[in-house]
Amino acid sequence: MSGHGVLRGVGVGRGVAVGPVVRVEPAPRVAPDAPVLRDGAPVAPDQVPDAVSEAFASVAAALTAQAERATGTVADVLSATAQMADDPALRQQVLDRVRGGEPPIAAVDAAVDGFAVLFEQAGGYLAERVTDLRSVRDRVVARLAGLPAPGVPELVEPTVVVARDLAPADTAALDLTRVLALLTEEGGPTGHTAIIAGQNGVPCVVRLPGITELAEGTVVGVDAATGSVVIEPDDDARAALAAKADRERALAEDTAPGATADGHPVQLLANIGTVEDAERLTGSAAEGVGLFRTEVLFLGRAQAPTVDEQTAAYTRVFRALGNRKVVVRTLDAGADKPLAFANPAPEENPALGVRGYRLVRTVPELLHDQLTALARAGRESGAEPWVMAPMVATSAEARAFAAAAHGAGLGVTGVMVEVPAAALRARAVLGEVDFVSLGTNDLAQYTMATDRLRGELTDLLDPWQPAVLELVAATARAGQDASRPVGVCGESAADPLMALVLAGLGVTSLSMSPGALPAVRFALRRHTQAECRALAGLALAAADAVSGRSAVRAAVHPEVGDLG
């Protein structure tokens, strides 16, 4: 592809896009005693109170206008934030401090900190608004310092969003109907941004050096499958991207159940995180859901959702999916997803701490309430959900989880295999539950002793690492011996080449972002199970991840090699 240069990073998903860049500005770092600026010049001392009032009013007006043009959750978030900016008590406290001689930036910081403490102590709805309050602080400080407004800008047209990195709150605030692609300088292929992008079929490339240096409005061409971004693509580059998009649409026309060329079944399932994700699958060719990330219901809250709230959400998901299989992962909090009510104290190494199923050690009521809600939702919808626990390391933990789920009235139980100990002892684990599902993102993290949030170590997190594949193979063999299903719900399942290897290892289902399903289905339908086993052998025998992938690519049918 040709243009004014090509940047290369790590692609997520298979989509392509062409459009103008809009940048997400980080929260400003402004010294507490920094002067108030207007048109680049310091404001006179007697005009500072008026400048502070104007800053709050402008932020409130901008957020209100943006909320009126938005819909759904985005509108709700913006409206709540606008109300904070327009709060007379907050503004008055800042003004009182300024008139008492406190520097304006310091006054905003102190007033917001004080209200945040009050909100957290009050709990409930107010505690949940602390994030909005901090957002107001960032916007007001930016305006006083003469800096661009931080956070996600209003998207008025289809846009390629560029950021150094995106926090979960930033990504949640995006109007995805106007996002053509997401590009980040930092982050990794298994981080928040990548997962949400993949979930919504948005092309994404992470680890893109220099991407934040592009001027606003620069047109770029994005190819997530190759991890490339063409700056100001010419006609040939645009045509190549359009041809790729046409091919992806053609692949999606095949809606048959997943199977190899000789009819060996491999269930093709979707990963979801919200009720809306499930409802978008109503007309999809996905055979069900292999991973329902329920923690999305819990994130950004000061208190856990009630049993009734959870029941309502789960019921909607089960009804949307009808008779299709739904695998629900219980709360996977901790590490990169801390919750105020579950992980109150910072841990020195949270990835190795109290997360996932281990929360039963500290807040057992969370699991009890969730299992109760899932059982109720199953009865109300007529569904029979498959329920699995994350971060299980021993057969004793698997046994305890299964007993708790059965006690709540749930029939089909399983666990995630993300810890090498669980893979090595998969036979014992499968003696306690009905199925297992391999979370290859975390399995790679723990096998390679590499924090999955450290984007610069992406090569070690590669699911093609032979050591990771050995653990997948051991788990699959245990499943075959016990006649138990073994799925993969990590994003490695979305790679058409890796999908062939996983099928060859004996994995019975693959769950991925919905947009990845057509290419994986296409790859499977062009190889027999015997061919998949041979490809798995090549990957296992490789010296490293790169040579393993290359060997498999060279051995697959040519039209499939072009997909990977």
Can you give the CATH number for the domain in which 329 is found?
3.20.20.60
Are 327 and 414 contacting, i.e. CB atoms less than 8 angstroms apart? yes
- The string of pLDDT tens digits covering residues 344-362 is 666 778 788 888 999 999 9
Q: Is the pLDDT of residue 2 over 60?
A: no
Burial label for 462, CB within 10 Å (0-12, 13-18, 19+), is: buried
Q: Are residues 215 and 269 in the same domain?
A: no
Q: Are residues 367 and 347 in the same domain?
A: yes
Q: Is the pLDDT of residue 481 over 60?
A: yes
Q: In this structure, what token pair is assigned to residue 304?
A: 């856990």
Which 3-state string (H, E, C) describes 101-170? Answer: CCCHHHHHHHHHHHHHHHHHHHCHHHHHCHHHHHHHHHHHHHHHCCCCCCECCCCCCCEEEEECCCCHHH
Q: Is the pLDDT of residue 1 over 60?
A: no
- Three-state DSSP class for residue 206: strand
Tokens 């608004």 label which residue? Answer: 129
Least confident of 10-14, 96-100, 446-450: 10-14
**What is the percent of the chain where pLDDT is above 90?**
58
- Three-state DSSP class for residue 44: coil
Q: Are residues 183 and 121 in the same domain?
A: no
Q: Is residue 159 part of a domain?
A: yes
- pLDDT of res. 397: 98
Q: Is residue 103 part of a domain?
A: yes
Q: Is residue 12 part of a domain?
A: yes
- pLDDT of res. 28: 80
Q: Which residues are paired to 412 by β-bridges?
A: 386
- pLDDT of res. 496: 94
Q: Is the pLDDT of residue 364 over 90?
A: yes
- pLDDT of res. 232: 95
Within 13 A of 228's CA, how many CA atoms are on the CB side?
Answer: 14
Burial label for 216, CB within 10 Å (0-12, 13-18, 19+), is: exposed
Domain boundary among 238, 253, 279: 238
- pLDDT of res. 118: 80
pLDDT category of residue 524 using cuts at 50, 70 and 90: very high
- pLDDT of res. 211: 94
pLDDT category of residue 427 using cuts at 50, 70 and 90: very high
Q: Is residue 31 part of a domain?
A: no
- pLDDT of res. 123: 59
- pLDDT of res. 342: 78
Q: Are residues 66 and 118 in the same domain?
A: yes
Q: Are residues 11 and 49 in the same domain?
A: no
- pLDDT of res. 511: 97
Instruction: Pick 229 or 302 by higher pLDDT.
Output: 229
User: What CATH number corresponds to the domain at position 44?
Assistant: 1.10.274.10
Q: Are residues 312 and 457 in the same domain?
A: yes
- pTM of the complete model: 0.73
Closest CA to 469 of 551, 383, 524, 370: 551
Catalytic residue (one of 192, 204, 527, 532): 192
- pLDDT of res. 289: 97
pLDDT category of residue 455 using cuts at 50, 70 and 90: low
Q: In this structure, what token pair is assigned to residue 560?
A: 């499939």
Are 345 and 407 contacting, i.e. CB atoms less than 8 angstroms apart? no
Q: Is residue 251 part of a domain?
A: no
- pLDDT of res. 499: 97
Specify whether 489 is catalytic: yes
Handedness of CA 367, 373, 374, 375 (dihedral sign): positive
Q: Are residues 195 and 330 in the same domain?
A: no
Q: Which residues are paired to 271 by β-bridges?
A: 291
Closest CA to 259 of 285, 289, 291, 225: 285
Instruction: Pick 406 or 341 by higher pLDDT.
Output: 406
Q: Are residues 20 and 79 in the same domain?
A: no
List, in order, residues 6 or more apart from 350 with CB less than 8 Å away.
334, 335, 336, 338, 343
Q: Which residues of 244-256 are buried (b: 16+ CB within 10 A; e: fewer)?
A: bbebbeebbeeee
User: What CATH number corresponds to the domain at position 199?
Assistant: 3.50.30.10
**Between vectors from CA 188 to CA 184 and to CA 191, what angle results, nearest 5°?**
100
Are 202 and 15 contacting, i.e. CB atoms less than 8 angstroms apart? yes
Catalytic residue (one of 204, 264, 406, 489): 489
The pLDDT mean for the chain works out to 89
Give the mean model confidence (pLDDT) for residues 458-465: 89
Q: Is residue 561 part of a domain?
A: no
Give, as one character, the DSSP assignment of residue 369: H
**Between vectors from CA 201 to CA 198 and to CA 205, what angle results, nearest 5°?**
55
Are 446 and 418 contacting, i.e. CB atoms less than 8 angstroms apart? yes
Are 470 and 440 contacting, i.e. CB atoms less than 8 angstroms apart? no
pLDDT category of residue 10 using cuts at 50, 70 and 90: confident
Q: Is the pLDDT of residue 217 over 70?
A: yes
Q: Are residues 45 and 158 in the same domain?
A: no
d(CA 513, CA 498): 15
**What is the percent of the chain where pLDDT is above 70?**
91
- pLDDT of res. 27: 78
d(CA 171, CA 319): 27
Closest CA to 354 of 372, 370, 371, 338: 338
Q: Are residues 188 and 134 in the same domain?
A: no
Q: In this structure, what token pair is assigned to residue 37?
A: 């600026």
Strands 159-163 and 179-184: parallel
Domain that residue 189 falls in? 6-24+152-238
d(CA 442, CA 10): 18
Closest CA to 521 of 327, 324, 326, 286: 286
Q: Is residue 82 part of a domain?
A: yes
- pLDDT of res. 286: 94
Specify whether 532 is catalytic: no
Tokens 């905003």 label which residue? Answer: 108
d(CA 423, CA 384): 26
**Between vectors from CA 352 to CA 346 and to CA 356, what angle results, nearest 5°?**
85
pLDDT category of residue 258 using cuts at 50, 70 and 90: very high
Q: Which residues of 518-557 are buried (b: 16+ CB within 10 A; e: fewer)?
A: bbbbbbbebbebebbbebbbbbbebeebeebbebbbebbe
- pLDDT of res. 21: 95
Domain boundary among 494, 511, 528: 511
- pLDDT of res. 156: 84
Give the mean model confidence (pLDDT) for residues 92-96: 93
Q: Are residues 316 and 446 in the same domain?
A: yes
Are 1 and 221 contacting, i.e. CB atoms less than 8 angstroms apart? yes
d(CA 215, CA 409): 56
Q: Is the pLDDT of residue 434 over 90?
A: yes
Q: Is residue 496 part of a domain?
A: yes
- The string of pLDDT tens digits covering residues 119-165 is 776 655 566 567 678 878 988 999 999 988 887 777 889 999 998 88
Burial label for 37, CB within 10 Å (0-12, 13-18, 19+), is: middle
Instruction: Pick 26 or 289 by higher pLDDT.
Output: 289
Are 282 and 514 contacting, i.e. CB atoms less than 8 angstroms apart? no
d(CA 513, CA 201): 7
User: How many other CB atoms are found less than 10 A from the CB of residue 406?
Assistant: 15
Q: Are residues 462 and 321 in the same domain?
A: yes
d(CA 415, CA 283): 29
State the total domains in the chain.
3
Q: Angle between the 48-69 and 72-85 helix axes, to the nearest 10 degrees?
A: 160
- pLDDT of res. 339: 76
Which helix (H) or strand (E) is 375 found in, with range? helix 364-381
Give the mean model confidence (pLDDT) for residues 521-542: 97
Domain boundary among 221, 238, 255: 238
